[in-house]
Structures are given as C-alpha cells and as structure tokens.
C-alpha cells in the first residue's frame, strides 16, 4: 500500500495504517535527527513530534504537489523541529563554516577492528562538529542516500546550494581527519 493511501486511512482513524507508516519511516526520521543533533533523547522526541504532527494534520503533506514524497516531507519536518529546538536553545545555525572526514574498511584482525572503531568515532565526532547545514546535507546524502533533488526539497534550498554544502562538508572532514589518516597510514607501513 502506498504512503499516500496509508496516510489517508490513518487520518480517517485507521490505527493499523498509522502503525504501518510509523514503522516504514521512523528509522529514517530518527537516524536523521540523531545524526543532526547528536542526542538520542532529542532525536526520539523529534521523531515522535514528526509523526504526531503528521497524524494531526495529514493535509499538510500533499503528494500531488511536485516531487515531494512522504520520506522527504518527514525529513523536512524533522529538520524544522530540530532547527526550532536549536534556536530555542540559543545555538547558532551559522551558514556554511569549514571542517572534515571519511571512513575505513573492515577487517577481522583485532588491531584493525580497534583502528576501525577509532576511525568510526573520529568520523562521528567530525560530522558532529560540522556546521549544521553542511552536516544536514552530508547526513542525507551519505547516510540516508537521498538524491541532491530530495535534499533540496528537505532543506528548502536549491540543488546548487546543496552541492556547495556537501562539498564544504567533505572538505572540512578531509582536513579534520587528515592527521588521523596519516598516522594510520604510517602504522600500516610499519606493519608491512
């Protein structure tokens, strides 16, 4: 059953339809909010609020309005709720500063597993330190595998702006993680 039909049924009081929508999209909304805000508790609240808002006012999502899917609609709603919380908390949403990052391949060796865990933590931390709009673009593109057009729909920006934010985010990550990857490369050379 399509998202649109499930939403129509849920709005008419069909609890099963709402549960199906929730189960279909909750992980996406939670992951996006968690990676954006770096807080499990806040991500859970935002996920809850997104779906509560959707069921209270299902007409806000208009499938026939352009290319919007329920997936992009929910991410845009989560984004708006996250930014609202940040503004209330007094966090600056400065547009596009500079930072960086990337990840490593998995292996079965204990040393490699330890290094992979360190790389994962370094990447997570570096992503968390990106300016909010760059972090948003990176998360949606790399982790949620959204297209540039979908990200533009979620963020309310044009595709060129999304590309620019994504480029800046990657550049910041590359710079931020460069010293770490140089030391890993040196360790690898010593082992050979």
Do residues 99 and 175 lie in contact, with contact meaning Cβ atoms separated by under 8 Å? Answer: yes
The whole-model pTM stands at 0.60
Question: In this structure, what token pair is assigned to residue 26?
Answer: 């909750």
Tokens standing for residue 146: 């959204």
Residue 123 near residue 101, CB atoms below 8 Å: yes
How far CA 179 is from CA of 12, 80, 182, in Å, comes to 56, 35, 5
In angstroms, how far is CA 107 from the centroid of its own chain? 26
Cα 169 to chain centroid, rounded:
13
Q: Per the structure block, which two tokens stand in for 103?
A: 């990840």
* Average confidence (pLDDT) over 151-160: 91
Over the chain, what is the mean pLDDT? 78
pLDDT at 106: 34
Whether pLDDT at 44 is above 90: yes
Token reading at 166:
């994504």
Assign 43 to helix, strand or coil: helix
SS3 161: helix
Confidence of residue 100 (pLDDT cuts 50, 70, 90): very low
pLDDT attached to residue 104: 33
Burial 141-176 (b: 16+ CB within 10 A, else e): bbebebebebbbbbbebeeebbbbbbebbbebbeeb
Q: Which of 4, 2, 10 is nearest to 51 (CA)?
A: 10
Beta strand ranges found along the chain (DSSP E): none
- Averaged pLDDT for residues 19-48: 91
């Amino acid at each position: 059953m399509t998202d649109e039909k499930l939403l129509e049924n849920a709005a008419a009081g069909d609890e099963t339809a709402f549960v199906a929508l929730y189960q279909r999209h909750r992980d996406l909304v939670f992951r996006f909010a968690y990676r954006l805000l770096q807080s499990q508790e806040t991500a859970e609240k935002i996920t809850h609020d997104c779906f509560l808002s959707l069921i209270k006012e299902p007409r806000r999502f208009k499938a026939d309005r352009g290319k919007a899917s329920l997936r992009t609609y929910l991410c845009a709603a989560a984004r708006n709720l996250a930014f609202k919380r940040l503004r209330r908390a007094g966090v600056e949403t400065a547009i596009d500063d500079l930072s960086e990052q990337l990840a490593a391949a998995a292996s079965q060796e204990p040393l490699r597993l330890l290094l992979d865990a360190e790389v994962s933590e370094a990447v997570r931390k570096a992503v968390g330190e990106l300016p909010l709009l760059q972090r948003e673009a990176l998360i949606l593109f790399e982790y949620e595998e959204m297209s540039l057009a979908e990200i533009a729909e979620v963020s309310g920006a044009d595709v060129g702006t999304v590309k620019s934010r994504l480029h800046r985010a990657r550049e910041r990550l590359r710079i931020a993680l460069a010293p770490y990857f140089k030391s890993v490369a040196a360790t690898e050379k010593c082992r050979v």
